């Protein structure tokens, strides 16, 4: 690294909020509004770095960022470095938040991390390299995520309403928000924040999992989907013959005991030796570890780095 880590700012950028922390003795930390998906990602990140610089009264030559929404177009640390020139930044390390979630949970070693919230992404790192499983968004993937669970709940409610499926306590949950069930789909599709609205029903599904058979089955199915992603990542990363591969389960969805138990059971059915471990840290801790990813680490190819050749 080109500068002392004591002069670094680490950033965990998500759609809910953007958290920053300065490495060093003064302990500066701040939280900013999350990434807006309808605006350019890199200018938003540059704005946060500028704000942190002003509010802390410090210059951060090195910035390490894990962010959601990192498309191929935005995976451009040179452009971000240019946007941060006035803030005094001379080195940027940029990675998808699946990488920093992994690093925060398991550090620099091998294993698999399943990160399940509104969406879900699973990352495996092993002797065969890095394997990303799912995380393909609510249209094409995210099986077992909060959105997936909410969508399953809404379908179950309408099946019950039609007489195509069993009665469920989830009907009252949905009716509390949409009294006219037959108009609910129109109102949801018209909501600009409809993905989060649908995902928001996952909390009620988890709360009813032990008392309502339909909710319980949805949660167990979610756990099975997440387990399938985990064992797939273990195999693709070359860890299927590891005597005790590590698996970390993180994110709000894993707070449901029914989902977590189903996921763990699904993993152990396929790989009995897998060890479900307690995550070591969060995405912000993972952003800090971006500074320790060396060129010979399996994750090095997933960390984009830009440096100014000369600075004074």
CA pair distance 54, 43, nearest whole angstrom:
16
Q: What average pLDDT does this structure show over 35-53?
A: 90
Its pTM stands at 0.86
Lowest average pLDDT, out of 5-19, 128-142, 194-208, goes to: 5-19
Three-state SS for 107-140 is: CCCCEEEEEECCCEEEEEEECCEEEEECCCHHHH
Which of 36-40, 222-226, 302-306, 308-312 reaches the highest mean pLDDT?
222-226
CA pair distance 11, 20, nearest whole angstrom:
4
- Mind listing the pLDDT tens digit for each residue in 120-152? 999 999 999 999 999 888 889 999 999 999 999
Average pLDDT of the chain to the nearest whole number: 92
% of the chain beyond a pLDDT of 70 = 97
Kindly report the backbone phi and psi dihedral angles of residue 69, in degrees, each rounded to the nearest multiple of 5, phi listed first: 70, 25
Adjacency order of strands within the sheet including 8-13? 29-33, 17-22, 8-13, 62-67, 91-96, 304-307
Kindly report the backbone phi and psi dihedral angles of residue 53, in degrees, each rounded to the nearest multiple of 5, phi listed first: -65, -45
Q: How many angstroms separate the Cα of 36 from the Cα of each of 40, 129, 247, 284, 295? A: 8, 32, 31, 19, 32
Q: What average pLDDT does this structure show over 194-205?
A: 94
- Distant-in-sequence, close-in-space partners of 217: CB < 8 Å, separation ≥ 6: none
pLDDT score for 193: 85
CA pair distance 214, 187, nearest whole angstrom:
24
Domains contained in the chain, CATH given: 5-102+283-307 (3.30.420.40), 109-279 (3.30.420.40)
Adjacency order of strands within the sheet including 111-116? 129-133, 120-126, 111-116, 246-250, 275-277
pLDDT score for 250: 94
Confidence of residue 63 (pLDDT cuts 50, 70, 90): very high
Q: DSSP states of 79-114 as a string?
A: HHHHHTGGGT--EEEEEEHHHHHHHHHHTTSSEEEE
Is pLDDT of 36 > 90? Answer: no
């Amino acid at each position: 690294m080109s500068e002392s880590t004591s002069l670094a700012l680490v950033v965990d950028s998500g759609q809910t909020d953007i958290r920053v922390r300065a490495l060093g003795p003064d302990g500066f930390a701040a939280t900013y509004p999350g990434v807006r998906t309808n605006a350019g990602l890199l200018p938003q990140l540059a704005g946060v770095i500028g704000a942190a610089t002003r509010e802390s009264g410090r210059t951060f030559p090195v910035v390490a960022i894990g962010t959601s929404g990192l498309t191929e177009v935005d995976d451009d640390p040179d452009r971000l470095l240019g946007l941060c020139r006035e803030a005094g930044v001379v080195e940027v390390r940029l990675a998808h938040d699946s990488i920093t979630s992994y690093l925060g949970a398991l550090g620099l070693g091998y294993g698999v991390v399943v990160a399940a919230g509104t969406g879900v992404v699973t990352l495996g790192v092993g002797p065969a390299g890095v394997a990303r499983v799912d995380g393909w968004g609510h249209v094409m993937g995210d099986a077992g995520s909060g959105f997936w669970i909410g969508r399953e709940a809404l379908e179950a409610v309408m099946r019950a309403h039609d007489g195509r499926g069993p009665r469920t306590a989830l009907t009252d949950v949905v009716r509390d928000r949409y009294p006219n069930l037959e108009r609910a789909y129109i109102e949801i599709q018209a909501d600009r924040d409809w993905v989060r609205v649908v995902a928001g029903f996952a909390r009620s599904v988890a709360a009813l999992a032990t008392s309502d058979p339909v909710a319980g089955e949805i949660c167990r199915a979610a756990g099975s989907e997440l387990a399938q992603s985990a064992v797939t990542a273990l195999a693709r990363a070359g860890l299927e013959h590891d005597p005790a591969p590590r698996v970390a389960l993180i994110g709000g969805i894993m707070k449901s005991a029914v989902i977590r138990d189903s996921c763990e059971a699904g993993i152990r059915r396929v790989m009995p030796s897998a060890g479900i471990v307690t995550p070591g840290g969060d995405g912000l801790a993972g952003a800090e570890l971006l500074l320790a990813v060396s060129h010979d680490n399996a994750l090095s190819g997933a960390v984009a780095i830009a440096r100014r050749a000369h600075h004074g």
